[in-house]
Chain A
């Protein structure tokens, strides 16, 4: 399909803002926070220029932002917001509420270290700490992927009535300029029809959300949420395929990069995957069969896809997980998630967990190659290891 524009040089934040503009949300409650602020600035620019016809609400905190997002979404309008780090943590209570309310809000989160101590580095602990809140979570590698994912996220969210968090690493993605193809409005309009839910809060037809329910009603409600989550990997893959048919760009639910015949596979999320590609290429060039599995959809965890990707390689003995997050007492969140996903699989590969990019420390392709060599030469450990 035509309609592609010439690439623009955009930061990840501005790519997110462009995606939000193209998705035509009607309500955007938002509160500024480093490093997300350019998203808000760009959206207000768009509005000032007359290109963005949303109700932008700027309450006094992120808690109030989410408090505004939920009823707006329940009223049947498309809702977008963006935050980072402490802002996301402040929303925590309402993240549960939003998914329970089946409010298909899309939120961009710029992954930043959590306080204290105060810091502004890329680190995914903020969003990984929200993994049990019932939000669908994507992690993106580039500004282009950020744009594509925000638009796809609305598609998936409104199909299953669950909110979506699109995560992009601070600075590496949020502030780095890249050539980004911004699709035409008509293309996005065709891909993303207006949100028209079966139920909505409407003063003309009184109904309500949030009443006290019986044990039985609550139990069934949680089952329904789980059933909706279970549909997400397939729907996310379909949304990506259809997007690809219009734009030629596909990111997958997971992406397998040069995994054929690999003896070791690196697994990571977000911007680290870009560096890992360089390392994979270098090791392949040196004769070591190494591949990369990029996990784009973290919640729900696409267990079947991961088991297929990592179980289907006869030569594969070692999986090297690179975590840019830290869960004290456990180590790397992705490490543990992956161990759980592969557990009980016949001939499962060994899963090595490396806390490689915590606090935004630089992880070079050379170091990644060194980590792979370390894994191949070491017995596997249950705990994550600190590496630099």
Chain B
């Protein structure tokens, strides 16, 4: 038999480098880092997919570090945020939105348990910044400025820091030890604190102006809106904020058996549920129909569980006082209403429904229908916008060297919004102070480079970009709540956090929209070996990619996109 061995002429060894299939291409895939819908919806643009990915990998320290990039209060926010991120979550189109808020709480709590602290600023700046107001916005600004090396002095009118988080939000929603610990961790960076120092007159602001290189005003909105049909001099009418400030300090205002809370927002729910815990029978009278109430859905559900009566889509017309000496209370004359708008973005109109009048009795009324900032102590120098102080997009006021944020400048009234405004202003202050030696920059003028975060303008990753085959349907963890008798008896936190196993399982549910998980599917499935790992991402070899789109289709996180090529 012949000993010769035949060789196949087109047997391939080594590589397919000779075959440049890239000439077939009409479209080219690209590895991108694209903003997720949750990231865009988050007031602080919290890099959600990134920190959830780190938590999924079990690296909670890294997750916390990423979280606190834009928010120094994750354990707090993980309890009280209105979480617009979850409303935007792509997972809702598959099964249920991710439990992002609870995951944040879990990471924040782990950081507290393990005593993690912020690294001190590596560089000290000579400038001093005054932050006026120790609520969420002021604390956020102080944190961001101190981290950048500025000397920060934090002024607070109340005896303790925290603002609305301490004097508004009740302890059953936000445990005080959590609040204290997260504030303490910010202060540990070296923030000088002066509590009990209110900004009472324009001169006080002038003094600060001359003593500091920049000022951030975040004094909140503590002036109560009032109903014209009520006489607030009566002992049976109380402002909601006042009520919450008292109960948060442990006081129990004497209001009789049955308390009516007027309002439909979170603050009204806080008042109602605090009153319930103080032993009152409570009715909420809300102008909005239940689905339209600005309060979070959870709060309404929990209030009901606690035995609070909700009368929605109704308005108080007049109160008549019964014979109090005979033990009589109040008679509330109400009417059903319908809300509407005359124009698409016009003011809300209230229409009373004819013949829907009704009457009920109560002992006291607490109104919680909103608050405005008190602008009087700032003097007349500042431009205003209705009841608010006017600023540009980066928090700069019309007065040079003074920035402002939080409820003082915004009607959004969410703690997370306040934190975001604190960060934006801090970045703007930082930029101004760094540029001071350089060419002068007109007040209020910022180049786009000064924009603190991306995510507002880029195309968000849509659900269609996610390959759902990699994401089996899985339920969101059921919210665990304290049993009602325990809530009312002990006043502890109603909403319970996720166990760590639950948190890890929930992190696995995250699509990681637009944040590559380095699964290598794009490398594995490319029929032309045209996708390669490159640094922290991937690159597509244009000589060989024939534009088939497999890498895009097989990407579980929407991190590969197809770009049409014109050539």
| Residues of chain A whose beta carbon lies under 8 Å from any beta carbon of chain B | 101-102, 155, 159-161, 193, 196-199, 205-209, 211-214, 217-218, 220-221, 224, 228, 242
- B65 to chain A minimum Cβ distance, whole angstroms, is 41
- Given that A207-B11, A209-B11, A209-B12 are contacting pairs, would A102 and B19 also be in contact in the complex, using a CB cutoff of 8 Å? no
- Given that A211-B16, A211-B19, A214-B19 are contacting pairs, would A224 and B9 also be in contact in the complex, using a CB cutoff of 8 Å? yes
A-B contact list, 21 entries, CB within 8 Å:
A101-B8, A159-B6, A161-B6, A161-B8, A196-B5, A198-B5, A205-B13, A206-B13, A207-B14, A208-B12, A208-B13, A208-B16, A211-B12, A211-B19, A212-B21, A213-B10, A218-B10, A220-B10, A221-B9, A221-B10, A228-B6
Residue contact B19 to A198, C-beta cutoff 8 Å: no
Residue contact A160 to B6, C-beta cutoff 8 Å: yes
Residues of the A chain whose Cβ atoms lie less than 8 Å from the Cβ of B16: 208, 211
Residues of the B chain whose Cβ atoms lie less than 8 Å from the Cβ of A209: 8, 11-12
B119 on interface, CB distance cutoff 8 Å: no
Residues of the A chain whose Cβ atoms lie less than 8 Å from the Cβ of B19: 211-214
Task: Provide the B1-42 mask, 1 if CB < 8 A to any CB of A, else 0.
Answer: 110011111111110101101000000000000000000000
Residues of the A chain whose Cβ atoms lie less than 8 Å from the Cβ of B10: 211, 213, 217-218, 220-221
Residue contact A102 to B6, C-beta cutoff 8 Å: yes
- B526 to chain A minimum Cβ distance, whole angstroms, is 14
- How far is A160 from B11 in the complex, measured between Cα atoms in Å? 15
Residues of the B chain whose Cβ atoms lie less than 8 Å from the Cβ of A205: 13
- How far is A364 from B230 in the complex, measured between Cα atoms in Å? 121
Residue contact B21 to A198, C-beta cutoff 8 Å: no
* A199 to chain B: closest residue by CB: B11
* Chain A to chain B: the 7 pairs with minimum beta-carbon distance, closest first: A198-B5, A207-B13, A102-B8, A208-B12, A161-B6, A224-B9, A199-B11
Q: Is the interface of B mostly helix, strand, loop or mixed?
A: loop
- A122 to chain B minimum Cβ distance, whole angstroms, is 34
Residue contact B7 to A199, C-beta cutoff 8 Å: yes
- How far is A244 from B262 in the complex, measured between Cα atoms in Å? 110
Residue contact B5 to A193, C-beta cutoff 8 Å: no
- How far is A183 from B422 in the complex, measured between Cα atoms in Å? 94
- How far is A212 from B22 in the complex, measured between Cα atoms in Å? 13
- Given that A207-B13, A211-B19 are contacting pairs, would A155 and B1 also be in contact in the complex, using a CB cutoff of 8 Å? yes
- How far is A213 from B12 in the complex, measured between Cα atoms in Å? 10
Residues of the B chain whose Cβ atoms lie less than 8 Å from the Cβ of A198: 5-7
* B527 to chain A: closest residue by CB: A212
- How far is A196 from B1 in the complex, measured between Cα atoms in Å? 13
User: 7 more A-B contacts (CB under 8 A) besides A193-B1, A209-B8?
Assistant: A155-B1, A160-B6, A199-B8, A211-B10, A211-B12, A217-B10, A220-B10
Residues of the B chain whose Cβ atoms lie less than 8 Å from the Cβ of A155: 1
- How far is A160 from B8 in the complex, measured between Cα atoms in Å? 10
Most buried by A among B2, B12, B14, B19: B12
- How far is A220 from B19 in the complex, measured between Cα atoms in Å? 16
Residue contact B9 to A207, C-beta cutoff 8 Å: no
Residues of the B chain whose Cβ atoms lie less than 8 Å from the Cβ of A228: 6
Residue contact B5 to A197, C-beta cutoff 8 Å: yes
Residues of the B chain whose Cβ atoms lie less than 8 Å from the Cβ of A193: 1
Residues of the B chain whose Cβ atoms lie less than 8 Å from the Cβ of A218: 10
Residues of the A chain whose Cβ atoms lie less than 8 Å from the Cβ of B11: 199, 207, 209
- How far is A106 from B337 in the complex, measured between Cα atoms in Å? 88
- How far is A221 from B12 in the complex, measured between Cα atoms in Å? 13
Residue contact A220 to B9, C-beta cutoff 8 Å: yes
Residues of the B chain whose Cβ atoms lie less than 8 Å from the Cβ of A207: 11-14
* A192 to chain B: closest residue by CB: B1
* B16 to chain A: closest residue by CB: A211
- B438 to chain A minimum Cβ distance, whole angstroms, is 58
Residues of the A chain whose Cβ atoms lie less than 8 Å from the Cβ of B1: 155, 159, 193, 242
Residues of the A chain whose Cβ atoms lie less than 8 Å from the Cβ of B5: 196-198
Residues of the A chain whose Cβ atoms lie less than 8 Å from the Cβ of B9: 217, 220-221, 224
- How far is A190 from B9 in the complex, measured between Cα atoms in Å? 29
- How far is A325 from B19 in the complex, measured between Cα atoms in Å? 44
Most buried by A among B5, B11, B13, B19: B11
Residues of the A chain whose Cβ atoms lie less than 8 Å from the Cβ of B12: 207-209, 211
* A193 to chain B: closest residue by CB: B1
Residues of the A chain whose Cβ atoms lie less than 8 Å from the Cβ of B13: 205-208
- B556 to chain A minimum Cβ distance, whole angstroms, is 27
- How far is A213 from B6 in the complex, measured between Cα atoms in Å? 20
- B22 to chain A minimum Cβ distance, whole angstroms, is 12
- How far is A211 from B16 in the complex, measured between Cα atoms in Å? 8
- How far is A193 from B1 in the complex, measured between Cα atoms in Å? 9
Q: Which of B57-114 contact A (CB under 8 A)?
A: none
Residues of the B chain whose Cβ atoms lie less than 8 Å from the Cβ of A196: 5
Residues of the A chain whose Cβ atoms lie less than 8 Å from the Cβ of B7: 198-199
Residues of the B chain whose Cβ atoms lie less than 8 Å from the Cβ of A217: 9-10
- How far is A209 from B10 in the complex, measured between Cα atoms in Å? 8
Residues of the B chain whose Cβ atoms lie less than 8 Å from the Cβ of A242: 1
- How far is A282 from B114 in the complex, measured between Cα atoms in Å? 106
Residues of the B chain whose Cβ atoms lie less than 8 Å from the Cβ of A213: 10, 19
* A222 to chain B: closest residue by CB: B9
- How far is A160 from B7 in the complex, measured between Cα atoms in Å? 10
- B123 to chain A minimum Cβ distance, whole angstroms, is 52
Residues of the B chain whose Cβ atoms lie less than 8 Å from the Cβ of A206: 13
Residues of the A chain whose Cβ atoms lie less than 8 Å from the Cβ of B14: 207
- How far is A197 from B11 in the complex, measured between Cα atoms in Å? 12
- How far is A228 from B4 in the complex, measured between Cα atoms in Å? 13
- B19 to chain A minimum Cβ distance, whole angstroms, is 5
* B18 to chain A: closest residue by CB: A214
* A205 to chain B: closest residue by CB: B13
- How far is A159 from B7 in the complex, measured between Cα atoms in Å? 11
- How far is A209 from B16 in the complex, measured between Cα atoms in Å? 11
